[in-house]
Chain A
Amino acid sequence: MRALERHRKLTAIWSSEPGFRGWFSTVNHTDVGKLFLVTAFVFFLIGGILAMLIRAQLATPHSAFAGPEIYNQIFTMHGTIMMFLFAIPTFEGLAIYLLPKLLGTRDLAYPRLTSYGYWCYLFGGSMLLVSMVLGIAPNGGWFMYPPLTGPIYSPGINTDFWLIGITFVEISAMAAAVELCVSILKYRAPGMSLDKMPIFAWYALVTALMILTGFPPLILGSILLELERAFGLPFFQADLGGDSLLWQHLFWLFGHPEVYIIFLPAAGVISTVLPVMCRTTLLGYGWVVAAAVALAFLSFALWVHHMFTTGIPHMSLALFSAASTLVAVPTGVQIFAWIGTLWKGRPELHLPMLHILGFFVTFVIGGLTGVMVAVVPFDWQVHDTAFVTAHLHYVLFGGFVFPILAGIYYWLPQVTGRKRFFRLGEIAFALIFIGFHLTFLAMHWVGLLGQRRRIDTYLPEDGWTTVNLVSSVGSFIMAMGIAIVILDVVVHVLTATRGPRNPWGAGTLEWAMIIPPPAYNFASLPHVASRDPLADDPDLPLRLARGEGYLGEPREGRRETLMVDVSSGAPEALVVYPANTRLPVAMAAMTGLFFLSLLLKFYWAVPIALAGVAALAWRWVWQLGRSVDEAPAPVGHGITLPSALGADRSPGWWGTSFLLVANGTFFGSLLFGFAFLWTVAPGWPPPALFEASLGEIAVGVAALAVTVAAVESAVRTNRAGGRPLAALLAGLIAVFCVVAVCAVMMARIPAPTEHAYYATLLVLTGYALFHALLTGLMFAFLIARVRAGFTSPSRRAEFTIVSLWTKYLVLTGALVLAACQLPDLFT
């Protein structure tokens, strides 16, 4: 087969539907990645316009530009949009677009999930935009502290938009995180062992793991606050056994890692682009990986530094102060590794390099002020002042926007296949750099002079007038710079000057393909033997196009790629992806219906939406099945591989494992909240403990035991070639017993609106009930599969997946049982 013919065949197999219709049915990572990036950039512009409004308002004292009602919405939406609708989705888009190309493969692990995530993001983000257009946007500040945001002090719908819209958007972050983890660990080019992974993949892996464990506390907090607002469950009301500090813990348990979730991908961009700009390789690759991992973990133990002024014991403050200063060490390792890379190579001042220099200047200042606010007494003064606003923008703009701009200019030729026409980028850089520092250096100063954040006006006597004016002028200079960047990019996309294939002389695989990239990425998958495969073998693109790699023979319209061993990158199994489908967008719409009916309090529609989601999910999974066994197939280089569906650790198994990590974090946060309220909240002990019932304990434990025994037996029977219908049916019945126990317990909880204790028990039992129902659905699914003849010893993947969920149910169910029943037994 000639290269051109192969190209035609692969394109026919892989490409999205043409035109507008294709947008809704595409599951291709290149397309969805671009959609993500463009959407996120639009949100950046909206957030930026809001920032200009803020600066216009603060430019002079006594400003009458916007009253507090509107102004509060403006800064809340600015912060919210920038953090949730710009920064995180930009990472998702970048990783979705780049990773398969960097890793030398054809797509991410779950193409339909990629697309589902995008639609959730778009729909959820649109909900927030609608609220803004209607003038009922959230107005409690981006961290939404109750009681201000509780039902008593914010009765309107504004806060609900935040809680529900952001949770909806978060689904897309979780989906992307699960997918990226599995893709990086299991979907790489053969031979790419962990030490040969492009450094960006390491950063993306660490970031994705952080999203999995960082977002659940916020999702939990949002659910609890929404329950309080909608149904009066008093989790955050001090006079009813709740505590507003619980929100702060849950929020910052997410909020601090969030900052590193934003920074780490940007650091990944620097680590990728900087060495190329210096014609060398990254100094201390292993150290940088270790630093990124250390940074990720450290960042989970810093959250209390946002709560230094809440009156927590000094010892606790000291612990978090210590941890917060420590986090500067791994950051320092990376900074100096990059500087060492500059010294090692021959740095050249291309446009991406300019933005990297902008990053150095800005981020180092942000890091230094960060260490300052980690020192407890200093934070007592500057907390909640403009100093902190200035610090956070040095970190976020310096640590994210500059690197992303570097990345945009670096990868734009890869995306479009063109080269830059006018030299507008340099002027834009100068304006952004100067404007940024004028704006925010000044804000440090007014902060020290006592200007609080989030005020809509001030007095001439306060002595802040000049500095604020300077700051506002600076921000408009910066805005002009951003506008020129947009112009530059648009001109780049529209002008028809073909660029060279590897304009920067990079060594990573995203440049080893035709540009703009074809839908299938690589005509055949490379065998990777070093960190810079393209540098070792400049002819690689040609050889891949000729089909000399793996999977060079397109087969019967199937989208094929390889799964590899996590550590060594040895090929393990052959994966066939699902093709274009509108299922993801339908699923996202149904999910949206669920959230919308919660928002508008159409509670009768909630069960309908849930049933719809369940039905679509059923179809979603059903489509993956095969009614006949797949024989092992040749994949090139004389290797024959089995289908991934026959593996104990199938793609679904991996995804489930990571999803359960996130779910476990959610559950752990819930237990933490319970313990926190019990020990710290005023208004405890509750009027009476939940009465223990030996009957419930006995039935519950027995039913859980039977469930897990049943699933294990089903796994074994299937592997031995039998039809495990009896075991599955027994499991299903046992699961219904679990459901019944949960329901009885929920019914027995006295007045959940009267004390946070009862409210928490309600959520705990509700959690168990939900998982029991879910497991029941899975048992039913397996029964349907077996009856339809979709299972066999070599089509066993779904059994191990259900087994994972069942064990999770047993674990959490037992803990819920203990948390509800034991306190009474032991007093």
Chain B
Amino acid sequence: MTDVMRIVLSPLVWLASFSAVYGLNGLLCGHGLVDAAVGSLSVQRAILVGAYGLALALQAAILVGLHMPRFASSSGFVRGVSVATGMAGFVAAAWSLMPVLTTSLC
């Protein structure tokens, strides 16, 4: 079962962080933080970008973990597949949360 967990961990964490960022933005839009700003940087944008960074860091940590002998699976196959899904999770985080940097907030 741990082997199955290894395979699904990274996409699962991605799903959680994606939903969290989506919910966070909805919350911030609903509660009038849109116009708050520090200098030229809007507070809402800063929070979202921070969450983006956190999501990437988590994914990176998982990827490193999947490579470490301590956490890696003893089965070569599971190692390969979990690294592939780990990469998928990382790319998914980088890609799907990118609008946080570019798109207008609300």
A interface residues with partner B (beta carbon < 8 Å):
185, 193-195, 286-287, 289-290, 293-294, 296-298, 300-301, 304, 312-316, 318-323, 326, 329-330, 566-568, 675, 679-680
Contact = CB atoms under 8 A, between A and B. Distances in A.
Nearest to A326: B95
Contacts of A313: 25-26, 29, 105-106
A447 to B, nearest CB: 27
Given A286-B84, A566-B4, A567-B75, A322 B26 contact: no
30 contacts: A193-B75, A194-B3, A194-B4, A195-B78, A286-B77, A286-B84, A287-B84, A293-B7, A293-B8, A293-B11, A293-B81, A294-B11, A294-B88, A294-B89, A294-B92, A297-B11, A297-B89, A313-B25, A314-B103, A315-B103, A315-B104, A316-B22, A319-B97, A326-B91, A326-B95, A330-B88, A567-B3, A567-B78, A679-B27, A679-B31
A319 B1 contact: no
Contact of B25 (A293, A315, A568): A315
Given A194-B77, A286-B77, A567-B78, A301 B27 contact: no
Interface string B1-23: 11110011001101100110111
B26 A316 contact: yes
Contact of B100 (A289, A301, A314, A315): A315
A323 B99 CA distance: 10
Contact of A195 (B75, B88, B98): B75
Interface string B55-82: 0000000000000000001011110110
Given A185-B1, A293-B85, A195 B11 contact: no
A185 to B, nearest CB: 7
Contact of B81 (A286, A296, A301, A323): A286
A319 B21 contact: yes
User: Which range contains the number of B residues in contact with the other chain?
Assistant: 35 or more
A3 B22 CA distance: 62
Contacts of A321: 99
A606 to B, nearest CB: 35
A315 B105 contact: yes
B30 interface: yes
A290 B4 CA distance: 11
Contacts of A296: 11
Contact of A319 (B2, B85, B99): B99
Contact of A290 (B21, B48, B81): B81
Among A300, A314, A323, find the residue whose CB has the most chain B CB atoms closer than 10 A.
A323
The 8 A-B residue pairs with the shortest CB-CB distance, nearest first, are A195-B77, A318-B99, A297-B11, A290-B84, A294-B88, A318-B103, A323-B96, A567-B3
Contacts of A297: 8, 11-12, 14-15, 89, 92
A326 B94 CA distance: 11
A110 B34 CA distance: 54
A315 B77 CA distance: 39
A326 B75 CA distance: 29
Contacts of B8: 293, 297
Contact of B99 (A298, A312, A315): A315
Contacts of A301: 15, 18-19, 96
Contacts of A319: 18, 21-22, 25, 96-97, 99-100
Contacts of B15: 297, 300-301
A286 B87 CA distance: 14
Contacts of A294: 11, 85, 88-89, 92
Nearest to B104: A314
Contacts of A193: 75, 77
A329 B77 CA distance: 22
A196 to B, nearest CB: 9
